[in-house]
Chain A
């Protein structure tokens, strides 16, 4: 099962390495990890996507909670939530037909072209991870020059909030 774990962690040097080190030391896998400070500069919010059986994910959350720098955490996948990821993708776009086709595809996926040269487009797409996967699938593989994905971030729906 895929789990999205949101963590509030002290914004201190080494905090990230404690989380990353925990995963490598105990053989858990990290699918993606994003981190940035919150509105309170002393706190960072981390979103971590991992896969594992219920037992393993239970251990992961317990071990994370045990880290002294971790203030609070929540497994977003336990309730209704929204997840988003951003992708920047640079594609070859030469000649009218190719440029039209790429533009059309970007529109279908509600992407925005954010950089243009006479031979390339750079497109920004946001959505959940499967949508970004689908966009990559929809493009002609030979056209893709570079992709960069932010990794997943997420938030729970409704009143529920991860805050101290």
Chain B
């Protein structure tokens, strides 16, 4: 039987096992929406802005490992989605975005709601397609899902002209896909792995620096086994948090610009650095000239172009983290070798001295609410087991520092692109994937206003997200930089004329709470998670306006040149 292109899209999504589709209708995708109407297998989530559709799909993907799927219309639908696509691209999140396009006969005519979606998204997708013939539709969709999820994951855009969704052809679900130009490597090079293991076993001051690759590759188990077998210290990038349990003694905290003193000092003094699924981002390395000056560097990454991009490494290994760590574990166990116990004991003694600085300390006797205290209490109330989605700014760094993530895929944040407005829609995606779980959005009064319209989506679908708004009436991270580096000229970082967030939450049909005293923090959080368990609660915490994120490595400085509290 012949199906229309629109029916093929929907049938394909069903056959591919897609359960949730985040989208917003419009002219060019009306045929697809009509086909969606006639079925109930794929659940469509109507957001209030296309950017939110992409972030929601992104949050869904980050928390499950399955690709997030988006459907938007042509023109403004596609351009609104670009921020979310770029966000996913920077953090290597598997996502498939279907954009409507004007009919093929009108492409290039400046037709109503026409943009060159393939051209606009090209620099921020893993790959994209324009489907010009309905006969190519199913196979193209299959390629899109395959590319998005394999190798280094990423977003893929499929642009579908309206006439293609109306034309008919025979539909067969393409079970397999083969592309001669795309064959991602999985297994690491045996010789390189051997060399790396030799270096690792001979280390006197070793350091494991792990990133988002561990989480994306679901290699947390292998990492834990590897680290425990060796007894080496572990630091995570922001994207890698949860990949190694934060409550473990071998964990020395996050590294980088707002990393812990012990993590950054250990990086600067280690003699063998093992980078695992991390990409030496500038927020992690600080000044690359001063980065790990004493270390031989081993780098495990699925993406060859990540290797020696920012920092020259001694032993590159291209392969999936999971496979390479498994191979390394096998080699180590077979060799019967053990690390140099004396050297390691000395190294840990040094690290513990750095740790004793207690670099994350803050004033616990303040009469103002300290944001750090809210997050510590949140961790306590949720037993460290919530999905925590964050926006971007100071609150993001505090969450990374103070919510001790013990499991992967619990910490959902826009690490690479730093997209304000990410938190709430991402939390929606997470809540759809985990309807029973505690899902939190930690945000600020700046970020939340960038996608606040999604409170309406949350009501429609009954999403009981807990919004922790750390409201300091400032674009805090901007203010912090202005304080440190611009002689306190607070240019446009003060947030005036804020709405009454409690009333706003209520106007959207949710529960609003205002908390302005430290003594009320715990009770308020308890109330939100118990009494209002099944409702969205917007918690507006009025926090200390002067609080800064410490430690801080100023831009251009080495990791051991931190500003401490």
Binding site for B on A (CB under 8 A): 9-10, 13-14, 17-18, 21, 25, 55, 58-59, 62-63, 65-66, 68-71, 164
> Given A14-B118, A59-B305, A62-B305, A68–B181 Cβ distance below 8 Å?
yes
Chain A CB within 8 A of B147 CB: yes
Asked whether A17 lies within 8 Å of B179 as measured between CB atoms, the reply is no
What are the residues of chain A within 8 A of B147 when measuring CB–CB?
68
A21 touching B305, Cβ below 8 Å: no
**What CA separation (Å) do A59 and B119 show in the bound complex?**
23
Q: Please state if A55 and B127 are interface contacts (CB–CB under 8 Å).
A: no
Contact (Cβ within 8 A) A69 B122:
no
Q: Quick check: B305 and A70 within 8 Å, CB to CB?
A: no
Q: Which residues of chain B come closer than 8 Å to A14, judged between CB atoms?
A: 118, 122, 130
Please tell me if the beta carbons of A69 and B130 are within 8 angstroms of each other in the complex: no
Cβ < 8 Å to A, chain B residues 106-165: 118-119, 122-123, 126-127, 130, 147
A59-B309 CB under 8 A given contacts A10-B181, A18-B122? yes
Q: Mark B279-317, 1 if CB is under 8 A from A, else 0.
A: 000000000000000000000000111011100100000
Q: Which of B123, B130, B179, B180 contacts A21 (CB 8 A)?
A: B123
Q: Is B182 interfacial (CB 8 A cutoff)? A: yes
Please judge, given known A-B contacts A17-B119, A68-B126, whether A164 and B305 are in contact too, CB under 8 Å. Answer: no
Give the docked Cα–Cα distance between A59 and B181 (Å).
19
- Chain A residues with CB under 8 A of B118: 14
Give the Cβ gap from A128 to chain B, nearest Cβ, in Å: 30
In the complex, how many angstroms separate the beta carbon of A38 from the nearest chain B beta carbon? 14
**How many Å from the CB of A54 to the closest CB on chain B?**
10
The residues of B with any CB-CB pair to A shorter than 8 Å are 118-119, 122-123, 126-127, 130, 147, 179-182, 303-305, 307-309, 312
- Which of chain A's residues has its CB closest to B303's CB? A66
- Asked if B119 and A69 sit within 8 Å, CB to CB, the answer is no
Q: Which residues of B contact A55 (CB under 8 A)?
A: 308, 312
- Residues B181 and A69 in contact, CB atoms below 8 Å apart: yes
**A66 neighbours in B (Cβ, 8 Å):** 303-305
Complex Cα spacing A155 to B119, Å? 31
12 CB-based A-B contacts, threshold 8 Å: A25-B123, A55-B312, A59-B305, A62-B307, A63-B305, A65-B304, A65-B305, A66-B305, A68-B126, A68-B127, A68-B179, A71-B180
Given A62-B305, A69-B127; 18 other pairs, CB 8 A cutoff: A9-B181, A13-B130, A14-B122, A14-B130, A17-B122, A18-B122, A21-B123, A25-B123, A55-B312, A62-B304, A62-B307, A63-B305, A66-B303, A68-B147, A68-B182, A69-B181, A71-B180, A71-B181
Chain A residues, Cβ within 8 Å of B127: 68-69
In the complex, A21 Cα to B119 Cα: how many Å?
9
CB of B317 to closest CB in A, whole Å: 15
> Which chain A positions have C-beta within 8 A of B180?
71, 164
Query: Residues of A contacting B181 with CB < 8 Å?
Result: 9-10, 68-71
Q: Which residues of B contact A21 (CB under 8 A)?
A: 122-123
Tell me the smallest distance from the CB of A131 to a CB of chain B, in Å: 35
Query: B421 CB to closest chain A CB, in angstroms?
Result: 24
Partner of B308, one of A58, A70, A71: A58
Chain A residue with the shortest CB-CB distance to B156: A68
Q: Which residues of A contact B308 (CB under 8 A)?
A: 55, 58
Question: How many angstroms between the C-alpha atoms of A62 and B305 in the bound complex?
Answer: 5
